[in-house]
Amino acid sequence: MFSTIFNFEFKRWLKNPSFYIFIFLFFIMSAFIAATSFGVFDSITASRGSNSMANSPLALSEFINGMNYLIYFLLPIIIGSSVYRDFRYNMHTILFSYPFTKWDYIGGKFLSSLLVVIIITLSIMAGITVASVLPWANQDLLLPFNMLAYVQIYLVYVIPNLFFFGVIIFALVTITRNISVGFIGVIVLILITIILSSFTRDIDNRYMVALFEPFGEEALGYYTKYWTVAEQNNNLLPFKEVIIYNRLIWLGISSLVLGLLYYFFSFTQTALTFGRSKKNDRVTKNNFGGITAIKLPTVKYDYSGWQNFKTMWSLSHFDFKFIIKNFAFLIIAFVGLLVLLLMSMTAGQVFGTSTYPVTWQMLMLPGTFFSFFINILTFLFAGMLIHRGDTSRMGNLIDVTPIPNWALLGSKFIALIKMQIVLLLIIVIAGVSIQAYHGYYNFELGHYFFELYALKLINFVIWAFLAVFIQTIFKNYLLGFFVLLILSIGIQFLPLLGIEQAIFNFNSGANYNYSDMNGYGNSIELYYVYKIYWSLFGISLFCLALLFWKRGIPMSAKETFSNAKKRFNVSFGAVLAISLISFFALGSYIYYVNNIENPRYSDKESEQQAVDWEKNYKKFEHYAQPRITDIKVNMDIFPNTRDFKAAGSYWLKNKTKKTIDSLFVNFNDYPTVFKFDAETTLVLKDSLFNFNIYKLKTALQPGDSIRMNWEITNKPNTILRDNSPVLANGTFISNGYFPSIGYSSNGELEDDKTREKYGLKPKERMAKATDSIARMNNYISNDADWVSFETTVSTSDDQIAIAPGYLEKEWSENGRKYFHYKMDRPMLNFYAYQSARYEVRKDKWKDVAIEIYYHKGHEYNLDRMVKAVKLSLDYYTENFSPYQHRQARIIEFPRTGGGFAQSFANTIPFSEGIGFIANVDDEDKDAVDYPFSVTSHEMAHQWWAHQVIGANVQGATLMSESLSEYSSLKVLEKEYGKSQMRMFLKDALDNYLLGRTFESKREQPLMFNENQQYIHYNKGSLVLYALSDYIGEKNMNNALQSYIKKVAYQEPPYTNSIEFVSYLDQATPDSLKYLINDMFKTITLYDNGVKKVTSKKLENGKYEVTIEANISKYHSDEKGKRIYADKYGKALRYKDRDQKEPIESLPLQDYIEIGIFSDKVDAKSKSKEKVLYLEKRKVTKINNKFVIIVDEKPTEVGVDPYNKLIDTNSNDNRKKL
């Protein structure tokens, strides 16, 4: 009987067109998405270049498992419905009287439909394979086809997952006989994953999450998270420990579910229902009712349009009630709320410190996942409402009432909107609850409601229009749902196909953004323009839905069309015409403004431009040019109209030994005029690249100067186009907007493969550290060394405007405020203007004035910042060199401008998003006071950038970013102790290891880094901190001090990392010289771990601890390939008793810290543990035994217990006794 049921069910699917539709959909989608990443569309859009192969086993697994999220939504439709169908069509009454066993029935149904789903998933693989052999696929991005990779992905992840979740969904639908419960199941599983994944932000939770995360992705990530590019390209997926456990756990869970289903399933005819069963009275019938005269009361029948409109509204209540009483809705709403609350625990955390739960932060909590759920529910309920008449078989009764189609369909649409409103309310409830929980009582309900209902809702309404349309077209609402799901996801891929403009991409367009300083600013207007545009399209869709909406008995396609023609009357046509015409009119206008009035360049064209720029002008790169020596700028900022006007003058001095006959002026597309105080002719004016060449009538002699005056304004802002960076409150404009001298290589293409395509030579990201031409420029500016700076900046009378320098004069004129700033010493050609309604906090350190310009309400961390400035000044002046300014200013700017702080001379713009609203918990030892650490980092830049500036060559940022990180860590350590170091360094290690997995060109050693953030920030802070630990803080700082003394404020050629490292090298004793090589000159990683530990109590009351630890290290090449042999080809090997593969290592002469700890902490100490022993021990082989005697009973031991060294698995460094 089993095979009969199996075969019957399977054949039924083979005959079902939707089976082929699904296969086709997944095939096309996979092929299409894969093709974009294989570079198939590079001929129509921007090129894709990468080091990591697009079809490496890891990439394939991400892709296939990603696509599988869509497949999971098929589970309720295919597996869930296999039993449900029998009930739906009342087959069960007949079927269940046939002689088969429960297993025949359940097993046959489940396995056959599982097979169907598996066949559908195979179309993903087919799609990828086809995409990879398309003639336009870029073979440089591809590895040869590897069947084993697919087999692994399908056997370990795809098929088991389908089985696990298939079982769960099958059980849910079979027991409740409700397909939508199956959808809930899928969504809940996805939510569980989201929640679990959010816990991995804390690295310590990764193991547990990997065990239980249902899809197995975290388990895979547990091993592959830090895979370098080489490992991604060369390795098959791992299949070991955690992955096996995870799969077994879920196999267990799903088997249990299957067992329970088998046990509880009975061939009865009632479904299990949740909730109350109502008590009903026994009804006895009165069969003797006589004949009653039927005299109906006279009532008024109103068929007017207005009445229909009111009826539409009141009918929507009925449909709305249907939604909110529905299981799917209730559960998803509840789970959604739960997820929001859970997410709030980790949201917005930086180094373990969260921000105050301000309203905008709460509004960001839902992120994309909540929007996705609102959409899913919209898609689902649009179908359920539109087909509600059919499903309940009441449709015919409704269809013959004199209610117009628009009122009936409209009522369903309104019910959907009401549902969306309720779902958005959940965000308010969650937000306010979270705020109240954290004791934050500033409930800005107005802000909540404005963002959710005035801004966000319209986005969902537009989706509802589409949902109503699609669900009207499709007879089967599950199919309709699926199509909508795919549309909503597929639309995001349109830009990859070269469809880049928002007007062609459904419901896209500019988004709004919020900052405390500037509110929604001007982002709202453009948002509304696009939403109105798409609403007009939505209304047109609704009209079309009305034409094709089924009323009465289903009709053939031909009848549907002739019926639609009949429905198309004058008033209907008018509405459709108006909405369509306005849609096209608005769209054409936007198109006109963005394409014709203003030139627009597609990604492809921009790529070509970058090529042209390089081909045309690269030849001028090393042409002798004068350097800017003096800068004077008059800057007028108009916050009300968001305009600015700048007039500046540069003194340009010929510092070369040659005469200069022409000037290359590089500017941007703002209207700009130039004037020179010598006679010049414009010999080239490139209005595309904004590059002018002026020929000097009399050549500029060495040592001579010429003055260049320039004026720059912005084009007026319009609703559709922002032509200025000025904000109503919180302007932040840097000198990047102003003209520069000479060719700039910034715009050149980076990716070598793309460059090759355009016939360009491979390019170094940065010049070699020894490049003597490149060393003539510092890495901040290509056209100046140290400059004098003076500026007058004006703004509206309620704002303060700030620029580097000291305030010389402040006055009002014509209702505007003017500020005159002048810097009293040479500084880098690097400055910015800020203007906002500021409050000012003032303080002093010795004779240095400390000022913080902040937004009212952001007082939370001012004290911390002031303290950080003072302590930084203390430490840096004592250890490095004197502070060159009389003032240190921190100036807040809106988070919409970015989440960073930046150091200009005596001036530090500081984003409101990273510290001003941080909620630092001084009690929590794992939480870093980052307002403090960011401030001290930026303060350190006053030395490491503004005193010592590296040449524009590889490794330059070692002397700015890495040293600033080091400096601020030292200040932080002094103030907060070592415990905060651990939190900080753990994060740095994680970010460094993650960063290398995304490396698009090549990983460089720290000393030759090419402005790679994961190297100069994360690795830099680890390495410098560890070095100071090894060679001693004082020793290290002395080296820094003498380095500063040598190179501060130097003129070209600028210092490089080779020079810097030589100072460190000198300070390092011979026994530790290997560190200089490992840390700076090569990429070195350790793999340290405690194998075994025993302890025994000695007679004298002390404890003898025996630690067995494996120590190994390797170099990594630029792609991440491990190298174990040193330059002489020597390597260590050690084979453990219980290990199959021997451990390899570079030869060791290393000092590794060994620690023994006790959890008995005396009250005085701030830390969580007591150190019984901590010493660096010399290690020369892989397997080591340390026997150490300590005074107290040890509870934990570790090798490199504080993770000072770079180690991809830092979890096994400690072991508990």
Of the two residues 263 and 301, which places its CB atom closer to other proteins in the complex?
A: 301
Of the two residues 393 and 657, which places its CB atom closer to other proteins in the complex?
A: 393
Of the two residues 294 and 1187, which places its CB atom closer to other proteins in the complex?
A: 294
Of the two residues 398 and 1189, which places its CB atom closer to other proteins in the complex?
A: 398
Q: Applying CB under 8 A, which part among 385-393, 739-747, 964-972, 1160-1168 lies near other proteins?
A: 385-393
Cα gap 1042→1063, rounded to integer Å: 8
Of the two residues 296 and 1163, which places its CB atom closer to other proteins in the complex?
A: 296
For residues 669-702, b (16+ Cβ closer than 10 Å) or e, as one string? ebebebebebebeeeeeeeebebbbbebeeebee
Q: How far is CA 922 from CA 58, 96, 547, 928, in A?
A: 41, 67, 65, 9
Of the two residues 562 and 641, which places its CB atom closer to other proteins in the complex?
A: 562
Candidates 90, 269, 314, 1094: give the one binding other proteins (CB under 8 A).
Answer: 314
Residue-by-residue DSSP string for 728-771: SS-EEEEGGGS-EES--GGGS---HHHHHHTTPPP--SSB-TT-
State in angstroms the smallest separation of the CB of 475 from other proteins.
Answer: 14
Window 536 to 595, contacts with other proteins (CB under 8 A): 551-553, 555-556, 559, 563
> How many positions of this chain bind other proteins (CB under 8 A)?
46
DSSP type of residue 1080: I
List all residues 6 or more positions away from 421 whose beta carbon is below 8 Å from its beta carbon. Answer: 453, 457
State in angstroms the smallest separation of the CB of 422 from other proteins.
Answer: 19
List all residues 6 or more positions away from 1042 whose beta carbon is below 8 Å from its beta carbon. Answer: 1063
State in angstroms the smallest separation of the CB of 172 from other proteins.
Answer: 19
State in angstroms the smallest separation of the CB of 379 from other proteins.
Answer: 21
Cα gap 1212→1204, rounded to integer Å: 14
Judge contact between 1114 and 1147, C-beta under 8 A: no
Q: Applying CB under 8 A, which part among 118-126, 279-287, 643-651, 1166-1174 lies near other proteins?
A: 279-287
Of the two residues 266 and 287, which places its CB atom closer to other proteins in the complex?
A: 287
State in angstroms the smallest separation of the CB of 283 from other proteins.
Answer: 7
Candidates 97, 266, 287, 814: give the one binding other proteins (CB under 8 A).
Answer: 287
List all residues 6 or more positions away from 1071 whose beta carbon is below 8 Å from its beta carbon. Answer: 1149, 1151
State in angstroms the smallest separation of the CB of 305 from other proteins.
Answer: 12
State in angstroms the smallest separation of the CB of 260 from other proteins.
Answer: 27
Candidates 318, 592, 601, 998: give the one binding other proteins (CB under 8 A).
Answer: 318
State in angstroms the smallest separation of the CB of 177 from other proteins.
Answer: 13
Cα-flanking dihedrals φ and ψ of residue 499, to 5°?
-90, 90
State in angstroms the smallest separation of the CB of 171 from other proteins.
Answer: 23
Window 290 to 309, contacts with other proteins (CB under 8 A): 291-294, 296-297, 299-303, 307-308
State in angstroms the smallest separation of the CB of 472 from other proteins.
Answer: 18
Of the two residues 133 and 555, which places its CB atom closer to other proteins in the complex?
A: 555
Of the two residues 93 and 392, which places its CB atom closer to other proteins in the complex?
A: 392
Q: Which two tokens stand for residue 559?
A: 């009848």
State in angstroms the smallest separation of the CB of 553 from other proteins.
Answer: 4
Of the two residues 395 and 898, which places its CB atom closer to other proteins in the complex?
A: 395
State in angstroms the smallest separation of the CB of 391 from other proteins.
Answer: 8
Cα gap 120→23, rounded to integer Å: 5
Q: Which two tokens stand for residue 536?
A: 């007009």
Candidates 88, 240, 310, 1185: give the one binding other proteins (CB under 8 A).
Answer: 310
Size of the chain, expressed as the number of residues it contains: 1217
Window 1146 to 1175, contacts with other proteins (CB under 8 A): none
Q: Of 361, 328, 331, whose CA–CA distance to 347 is shortest?
A: 361
Q: Applying CB under 8 A, which part among 13-21, 222-230, 285-293, 909-917 lies near other proteins?
A: 285-293
Cα gap 435→357, rounded to integer Å: 6
Strands 627-638 and 784-796: parallel
Cα gap 238→242, rounded to integer Å: 10
Of the two residues 236 and 397, which places its CB atom closer to other proteins in the complex?
A: 397
Of the two residues 270 and 1100, which places its CB atom closer to other proteins in the complex?
A: 270
Judge contact between 871 and 854, C-beta under 8 A: no
Of the two residues 92 and 937, which places its CB atom closer to other proteins in the complex?
A: 92
Residue 1141 falls in which region: left (phi positive, over 0), alpha (psi -120 to 50) or beta: beta
State in angstroms the smallest separation of the CB of 334 from other proteins.
Answer: 20
Of the two residues 401 and 1100, which places its CB atom closer to other proteins in the complex?
A: 401
Q: Which two tokens stand for residue 1152?
A: 């590794």
Q: What is the gyration radius of the CA atoms in the chain, in angstroms?
A: 35
Candidates 114, 125, 229, 315: give the one binding other proteins (CB under 8 A).
Answer: 315
Of the two residues 287 and 368, which places its CB atom closer to other proteins in the complex?
A: 287
Candidates 99, 135, 144, 289: give the one binding other proteins (CB under 8 A).
Answer: 289
Of the two residues 301 and 441, which places its CB atom closer to other proteins in the complex?
A: 301
Helices (H), 596-751: 603-617
Q: Which two tokens stand for residue 922?
A: 């001084």
Of the two residues 411 and 962, which places its CB atom closer to other proteins in the complex?
A: 411
Cα gap 424→432, rounded to integer Å: 13
Judge contact between 1195 and 1217, C-beta under 8 A: yes
Question: What angle do the packed helices 2-15 and 102-133 form, to 10 degrees?
Answer: 40
Of the two residues 471 and 579, which places its CB atom closer to other proteins in the complex?
A: 471
DSSP type of residue 1207: B
Cα gap 755→614, rounded to integer Å: 11
Handedness of CA 326, 329, 335, 337 (dihedral sign): negative
State in angstroms the smallest separation of the CB of 285 from other proteins.
Answer: 7
Question: What angle do the packed helices 961-976 and 978-997 form, to 10 degrees?
Answer: 150
Judge contact between 996 and 227, C-beta under 8 A: no
Judge contact between 407 and 312, C-beta under 8 A: yes
State in angstroms the smallest separation of the CB of 264 from other proteins.
Answer: 24
State in angstroms the smallest separation of the CB of 324 from other proteins.
Answer: 12
Handedness of CA 947, 950, 952, 954 (dihedral sign): negative
Residue-by-residue DSSP string for 1118-1155: TT--EE-S-TTS--EEE--TT-SSPEEE----EEEEEE
x/- string (CB under 8 A) for other proteins, residues 391-430?
-xxx-xxxxxxxxx--------------------------
Residue 436 in contact with other proteins, rule: CB under 8 A = no
x/- string (CB under 8 A) for other proteins, residues 1108-1127?
--------------------
Judge contact between 794 and 636, C-beta under 8 A: yes
* Matching residue, tokens 């007017």: 304
Window 1179 to 1208, contacts with other proteins (CB under 8 A): none
Q: Applying CB under 8 A, which part among 55-63, 86-94, 286-294, 415-423 lies near other proteins?
A: 286-294
Q: Applying CB under 8 A, which part among 277-285, 476-484, 754-762, 1130-1138 lies near other proteins?
A: 277-285
Cα-flanking dihedrals φ and ψ of residue 985, to 5°?
-75, -30
Cα gap 1186→126, rounded to integer Å: 56
Window 467 to 526, contacts with other proteins (CB under 8 A): none
Q: Of 516, 517, 201, 200, whose CA–CA distance to 353 is shortest?
A: 201
Q: Applying CB under 8 A, which part among 97-105, 313-321, 743-751, 1081-1089 lies near other proteins?
A: 313-321
**Which residues lie near other proteins (CB under 8 A)?**
280, 283, 285-287, 289, 291-294, 296-297, 299-303, 307-308, 310-311, 314-315, 318, 322, 325, 388, 392-394, 396-404, 551-553, 555-556, 559, 563
